Structure 1
């Protein structure tokens, strides 16, 4: 493991967010990628899948043609979870995974960028994905706090078999490259028999001010296990 003179996050050593006043503002619009803030109107959830979220009705309408197939697919999966009888069949598990992704989106995107070494090997974005396996506890009042990280793995992109999810990733990939980005980074979170995929459209490397870090897994555990949703990566280049 490399030695670093400073932590990976500007707020790495500050008190956990659970020790501070609870804040709202961790949702990301699935159409325009805007972040919810306490001063803005609360984001709306898609009434079909109850997982996709939007900053406005306009964004929801724009996104609907491409969202419709995967929305119906997600709604079916949520329904199957409710009807299951296994130990992991809490009817809120699937929604909880989606909220986990939303709450930790900045952290997960950074961890995936570092895990796949995209600063050094940008082509990895087309070949591999970051798989994060979670343990489920199910008792915390905040759904995203019901999970802890049990292990992480780099897996090939063909680990994903669902054709609708693959199609959604490809659509995002085309949009990202059209705007000059390097491609779509894929994060997979898995707990029991349920999983969720988070595609992250990566900007051109010239716009990314993070240096390569090998301690990403330690940082991931630190923020998730302490309930931190305020991850702020340090910029360590001359632009940062």
Structure 2
């Protein structure tokens, strides 16, 4: 029997919530240098090379560069050298994929949290990963140049066994996350043809994340990607009521 939900999985599924700008984003986005948590007053910046590592300030980004340089340059080179595969005409697909991942980071992180069922089984973060397969679209906006062709849970080794540097970076994040009280790093692999982007997400303990558990995460993922919206905000139902964002 299909699950029934009295409200959409996202607070702004149909229209943006008027309350979303006042709520603190929870669950991830930690400065890779000083471990500060992102909040509405301090918008994080992404590394322009790998488009996955984030920093709270330009000073933190500069300070972290010596240790981040190897994995950043490796990731950027892997993306640039990847071949899209038969039927793919756009040579800039790797650049578009990085921009897509950055634009939909909140949505992809939420989908990974739901797909791996981390609220119910936190240990899944160490065993599984979310694979999001994309198909190219001919659209002028970078975040709309793809549609979701499929999404499935795969063994985490599907991502980590192919690239030692990527595996080491995920392990570093995993250890840092646990030291800070989190459960580990969720791994999301965004793939289009022969080009892929790994998105690691450090996850708080379930007790600190009140996002509603959803089995319709794949439908929500498709809805926001297909409509080109990058303002996704999940719903959290708490004893204090419904929280947006």
What is the rounded CA distance, in whole Å, between the counterparts of 1:55 and 1:174 in structure 2? 20
Which residue of the partner structure matches residue 174 of structure 2?
173
Which residue of the partner structure matches residue 14 of structure 2?
13
Q: Do 1:44 and 1:56's aligned partners in 2 also have CA atoms closer than 8 Å?
A: no
Which residue of the partner structure matches residue 151 of structure 2?
152
Q: Do 2:170 and 2:185's aligned partners in 1 also have CA atoms closer than 8 Å?
A: yes
TM-score by length of 1: 0.82
Q: Do 1:181 and 1:203's aligned partners in 2 also have CA atoms closer than 8 Å?
A: yes
SS at match of 1:101: helix
Q: Does 1:235 align with 2:199?
A: no
Change (3 A) 1:196 1:35: farther
Q: Do 1:100 and 1:143's aligned partners in 2 also have CA atoms closer than 8 Å?
A: yes
Q: Do 1:128 and 1:157's aligned partners in 2 also have CA atoms closer than 8 Å?
A: yes
Count of residues paired in the alignment: 222
TM-score by length of 2: 0.81
Q: CA deviation at 1:237?
A: 2.3
What is the rounded CA distance, in whole Å, between the counterparts of 1:133 and 1:176 in structure 2? 27
Q: CA deviation at 1:55?
A: 5.1
SS at match of 1:236: strand
Q: Do 2:84 and 2:195's aligned partners in 1 also have CA atoms closer than 8 Å?
A: no
Which residue of the partner structure matches residue 92 of structure 2?
92
Structure 2 unmatched runs, 5+: 17-28
Higher relative contact order (CA 8 A, sep 6+): 2
Which residue of the partner structure matches residue 199 of structure 2?
198
Structure 1 unmatched runs, 5+: 16-27
Q: CA deviation at 1:54?
A: 4.7
